[in-house]
Structure 1
Amino acid sequence: MAAVRGWQGTLLILFIVGASKANEGFFWHITDHHYDTTYWSEMRSCNDEVPVRGIYGDYWCDSPWRLVNDSINAMADIKKNVDFIMWTGDTVAHIKDKYLNESFNLEIMKVVTDALKAAFPGVKVYATMGNHDWYPSDQFPVISHSLYNATADLWEDWIGDAEQMANFRKGAFYTIKTPQGLRIIALNTNLYYTSDKLTTDLTDPAGQFAWLEKVLKKAKGDGEKVLISAHIPPGVHVPGNVQWLAKNFNTRFIDLLRQYTDIIAAMYFGHDHADGFKLLHKNGRTPGVPMFMAPSITPWRYKIPGKSGDSHNPAIRLVKYNRDSGMPLDIHQYYMDLTESNKNNASNWTIAYKTSEAFGLSDLSADSLNGVIKKMETDKSLLDKYIMYNTVLANGETTVNGCNQKCRAIFLCGFTHMEKPSFDSCVDSRVGAAAEICSSPIAFIALALLYLLM
């Protein structure tokens, strides 16, 4: 076709650009509110002594209502006109089961559900349950249950379809199409969690794997693009080096997803309480599907004998995406500086970063993430930036400076190694290679010259 010149060509270019922009939309991804109703009384979620209670919470505790409500209001203030909200669970606090019951958990989810509906009237919320939303915590059953039924009723305005309501009542999973035509598959990966004692000896809890394969096969046949959401992600959580899903379930889940990388645009998870992404490779080890773990709203940090988690700030995430393909284009990560907000008695939700600017990416496709992961292998400053964002800017340079060669290997291997044995082998290989290089005579001479030049 002959090139179009003059004003007609300019109009054509403007039309194409305009059409492309028209296909861009936004949605919020929020996760892990962990609302603690006892923050101002018994403080049952707190993992350490809190001499002074901040009005927005404390790094050792789950969220008081003021933080939960403020985060929702901040979302509406920043961008109210969104296509939908993705909410990936864990609304109930880290409180011992003896202080909880089904009614209490349901009431916690109800008040947050109501707050979201009030702040975003008419906006669909694609919600999934977290492991702490269940009672007893983590113990999701594979049969019909009153808590499945009650939660389905709570979210009926968002799920709507009778068939999908029935799926939720069976196991808290469902699928639905957005008004823009993308297929959302909302999963209950809590069924595969290593802490769920009810599913340990099963091969397909609640039939979710068979159902997922059926939905993906139909979506492919219908030419649909898919977004997958769930609370607990597959793969290895870093820097904790924990595979959340039981080995057999993690492997089966990953294998199934790899069969449909051509239609899955992206996957969104919570649970980690940290900011991160992964890249699921196709079977041929080429870029497949981007995975995003949103940081939590709660600032709660774990504490176990001899070890505690890093401090991290409360966070909310705005995702820019292509409405036609589902491809994620950018992440606008917002956070509250908890220390400053408590000090000033006023919240300060501000932008932490945009991926387009922070990592120099035009989009967040699998190919783009693959490129930035490869750059991080040689560009220390780029990986440092990722590590800084992992705790939502709570620890500043401390986190980066405390990350040694093995720590960096853990982050790098965590991007693409989805099973623990492969991940461990990758870490050992990287650490061994680094040690070999540093111990060589050439490396010693280079370091000596560098020292002399400093």
Structure 2
Amino acid sequence: MIRDYLVLLSWLCAVQGKIGYFWHITDIHYDPRYSTQANANACWNTRNGVNSGRKTPGEFGDYACDSPWALVESAASAMTSNRGEGIKFVLWTGDALTRTTGMNVELRLQCLRNLTDLLSRTFKEQFVFPALGHDDIGVNFSQLAEIWQHWLPQEALDTFKTAGYYTIEQRSEKYRIIFLNTNLWLNTADSRMLHRSSGSMIDNAHDPFEQWSWFQKTLETARRKKETVYIVGHTPPGIDDRESGAAVLSERHNTKYLQVIRLYSDIIRGQFFGHWHTDTFRVVYSDTGLPVSWIMMAPSISPSTPGGPNNPGLRLYKFETTTGQVLDYTQYYLNLPDANSIGTANWLPEYSLLEYYELQEITAIALHDLADRFTQFNDYAFVRYYAANTVSLPREVEQIWGCGGPLNGVCALHHYCTVTRLNPESYRECYSSYAFALSSTGPSTPRLYFSLLVLLVCAELLRNR
């Protein structure tokens, strides 16, 4: 009896030992010149002086400004207090620096050193793995490699110094993480501008800095070694869910990326990106229309974005370390007006993915079904998604910036198409065909038309309860 108990206990410990966690932080956009004095804060004066309703910006930030140091420090503290143990690594997916102009190279380097030092003190026993964002420009690869060399092994530094991409192989656990430099795949004009400012040139439009060749070779190596893979980058494929129809990756590279994901979907356990600043996801489909992979986009720490504001967010993933299978995540957020009002940053859990959307697992099929629920008349999935999308932004702020909210059928349609159509042409076809149906009164109106109409009524009733 005792022996059986010990065997069971040993088995339970082994299972528990397979569970790990990792943080995903993105789009910090640290602004060293942020000031709580309105007359000294250029960002607040030029972008928010009328709409804020306050005479001075808050200590922890403003919906029209990039992140002050107080906000960044509070995020680091929140990650320590909410999960200090069991963290295997941290994904940091770029855009560390403010988007405002006028920062010279030395100031940019100093800001990156300050952020790196903060994260190093926060995660003394873990590695932080950075990916380059399009606003991390003006500093060349070698300078960045010097700042981050204590986190990256030599093999990773070798490719990072040359082109800004690298891979981390977790040999004992049989999974690897591939970090892409998505700046190389931006629309041509943007890509050339970024790399001119970084002191590097792109001489091969089809395979800039040979990232495609390296990417596929790395995936082939993983398949041969029977490893599973995470793919990490800053700018994801697909369409912006906040600015209708906007795409950032060039059409050629966007298409090729989706082709590669389809080809290696059997070993890919997750894709993690930032850039949009919103809480959203994407589903990748096979050539025959079957869901084969998924992409998660974490919301930003910065409360500001050209497409509209959001509350600051942090994301904690739970995963099985031996297989790389993502089991769940907890989204944390900061209610920015409350933090500024009381002078304390109380980061709180916003939701758990499985519980929030009533999912049993995180798979491409499960997320496809969730997106399909956006169109169902008897399901509140889109109402929940829309609230999470801006990280529980206060309603009075969302009404100014939003696309109409969950009570707007066109808004629901736009989000449905961005989640399920990951290239500009297919997005336009999805949006235009159903938008026509929404405006049609003919007898052949498809199911989505009826579903969205009833969704509007249900959401209105839910809001007024």
TM norm. shorter chain > 0.5:
yes
Where 2:128 maps in the other structure, the secondary structure is strand
Query: Equivalent of 2:290, from 286, 289, 295?
Result: 286
Following superposition, the deviation at residue 437 of structure 1 comes to: 5.9
Aligned counterpart, 1:140: none
Change in CA separation of 1:294 and 1:401 when aligned onto 2, cut-off 3 Å: closer
> Contact 2:386 / 2:406 at 8 angstroms: preserved in 1?
no
Following superposition, the deviation at residue 244 of structure 1 comes to: 1.2
Please, what TM-score do these two structures have when normalized by structure 1? 0.86
Q: What is the distance in 2 between the residues matched to 1:243 and 1:285?
A: 22
Q: What is the distance in 2 between the residues matched to 1:298 and 1:86?
A: 16
Following superposition, the deviation at residue 380 of structure 1 comes to: 4.6
Change in CA separation of 1:248 and 1:55 when aligned onto 2, cut-off 3 Å: same
Where 1:196 maps in the other structure, the secondary structure is helix
- Write the mapping of 1:376-387 to structure 2, written as runs, cut at 5 A: 376-378=374-376, 379-387=378-386
User: Quick check: 149-158 or 333-342, which moved more?
Assistant: 149-158
Where 1:235 maps in the other structure, the secondary structure is coil
Following superposition, the deviation at residue 369 of structure 1 comes to: 1.2
Aligned counterpart, 2:267: 263
User: Quick check: 22-31 or 331-340, which moved more?
Assistant: 22-31
Which AA in structure 2 matches 1:285? G
Q: What is the distance in 2 between the residues matched to 1:408 and 1:313?
A: 21
User: Quick check: 26-35 or 246-255, which moved more?
Assistant: 246-255
Unpaired stretches in structure 2, ≥5 consecutive residues? 194-201
Alignment length, in residue pairs?
423
- Write the mapping of 1:236-385 to structure 2, written as runs, cut at 5 A: 236-240=239-243, 241-302=245-306, 309-378=307-376, 379-385=378-384
1:122 aligns with 2:125: yes
> Contact 1:319 / 1:328 at 8 angstroms: preserved in 2?
yes
Aligned counterpart, 1:170: 162
Q: What is the distance in 2 between the residues matched to 1:348 and 1:418?
A: 36
- Write the mapping of 1:141-152 to structure 2, written as runs, cut at 5 A: 147-152=140-145
Which AA in structure 2 matches 1:187? L
User: Quick check: 416-425 or 394-403, which moved more?
Assistant: 394-403
Q: What is the distance in 1 between the residues matched to 2:77 and 2:183?
A: 29
Please, what TM-score do these two structures have when normalized by structure 2? 0.84
> Contact 1:261 / 1:282 at 8 angstroms: preserved in 2?
no
- Write the mapping of 1:25-424 to structure 2, written as runs, cut at 5 A: 25-40=20-35, 42-46=40-44, 47-49=47-49, 51-81=55-85, 82-96=87-101, 99-135=102-138, 147-161=140-154, 163-178=155-170, 180-194=173-187, 195-197=190-192, 199=202, 202-240=205-243, 241-302=245-306, 309-378=307-376, 379-396=378-395, 398=399, 399=402, 401=405, 404-424=408-428
Which AA in structure 2 matches 1:184? I
Where 1:273 maps in the other structure, the secondary structure is coil
Where 1:158 maps in the other structure, the secondary structure is coil
> Contact 2:149 / 2:157 at 8 angstroms: preserved in 1?
yes
> Contact 2:174 / 2:323 at 8 angstroms: preserved in 1?
no
Q: What is the distance in 1 between the residues matched to 2:3 and 2:240?
A: 53
> Contact 1:388 / 1:395 at 8 angstroms: preserved in 2?
no
Aligned counterpart, 1:305: none
Change in CA separation of 1:338 and 1:439 when aligned onto 2, cut-off 3 Å: farther
> Contact 2:405 / 2:411 at 8 angstroms: preserved in 1?
no
Change in CA separation of 1:439 and 1:234 when aligned onto 2, cut-off 3 Å: same
Percent identical = 30
> Contact 1:239 / 1:407 at 8 angstroms: preserved in 2?
no
Deviations 1:155-194 (A, max 9, x none): 1111122x32120011110001236342010110011122
> Contact 1:84 / 1:123 at 8 angstroms: preserved in 2?
yes
Q: What is the distance in 1 between the residues matched to 2:136 and 2:42?
A: 16
Which AA in structure 2 matches 1:404? N
Deviations 1:67-119 (A, max 9, x none): 011101110111122111000011110112xx122222221111111101111
Where 1:168 maps in the other structure, the secondary structure is helix
> Contact 1:239 / 1:410 at 8 angstroms: preserved in 2?
no
Where 2:431 maps in the other structure, the secondary structure is helix
> Contact 1:56 / 1:338 at 8 angstroms: preserved in 2?
yes
